[in-house]
Amino acid sequence: MRDTSLPRGDRSFTPALGKVWLTPVYDAAIALLTREHVWRDAAVRAADLKPFDKVIDVGSGTGTLLRQMMSSCPPAEYLGVEPDPDVLAIAERKCGSVSHMIQWHNGFLDTLDLGRGWQPNKIISSLVLHQVSPEQKRAILEQISALLTPGGMVLIADYMRQEPPLMRRLFRMTVQQLDGIEDTQPNADGLIEEHLQEIFEDAERLRVFPTATGAILLWRGYTKKVPDS
């Protein structure tokens, strides 16, 4: 199902690879430079998808992760949130015959209007938080927490704290050249990990993936469960 709502006119977003003209080569660049198949496989395994799951992919991009999750567990329900209409069109084409089984929202997470009775128990986001402002980083994580069912799972795969020095240097030479220093440096300094530990329960780092563009980390956390009465 396609939600044709558009991002608000006063809202901006960083394009794939930081530049609009690089969008056509995004998939090839991510696959070549970030060991994509390794960390995406790990993210899908960590999601532990079940037929009853309701899953949101925040910043679903060109749909690679959504397509892989659907292949892993077709009966689950999926919703992709993506503000870039050109990238969203690529995702729908990529998902092909199963595209109609995914709900698509062309907008931001805080413009999402979920139908009554549809609440996600799992939300995943990959390679999004390093591209937004420090204020938006926390706001997005708080929005994720508010949307999830009690005890729901969040999975974040992104550039976070860059250790050792080689990873920080590679990150500076690649990602920060494309996406800028202001939004990306807080990630390199560990801000996302701090927010995850403050907002979610049992937040933990699952894996670190050294790449030619810096380290991509996979973190998992949970929302608070409703106390037993």
Domain boundaries along the sequence of the chain:
2-222
pLDDT band at 128, cuts 50/70/90? very high
- pTM given for the model: 0.90
| pLDDT tens digits, 68-87 | 999 999 999 999 999 999 99
CA distances from 132 to 33, 43, 128 (A): 21, 21, 7
pLDDT band at 24, cuts 50/70/90? confident
Kindly state the percentage of the chain with pLDDT values over 90.
77
CA distances from 183 to 13, 85, 165, 203 (A): 12, 22, 19, 23
Q: Does residue 113 register a pLDDT over 60? A: yes
| pLDDT tens digits, 185-220 | 999 999 999 999 999 999 999 999 999 999 999 999
Percent composition of the chain: helix, strand, coil (DSSP 3-state, to 5) = 45, 20, 30
CATH topology of domain 2-222: Rossmann fold (3.40.50)
The angle subtended at Cα 17 by Cα 4 and Cα 108, nearest 5°, is 30
Locus of tokens 């729908």: 92
What is the spatial distance between Cα 176 and Cα 89, in angstroms, rounded to a whole number?
26
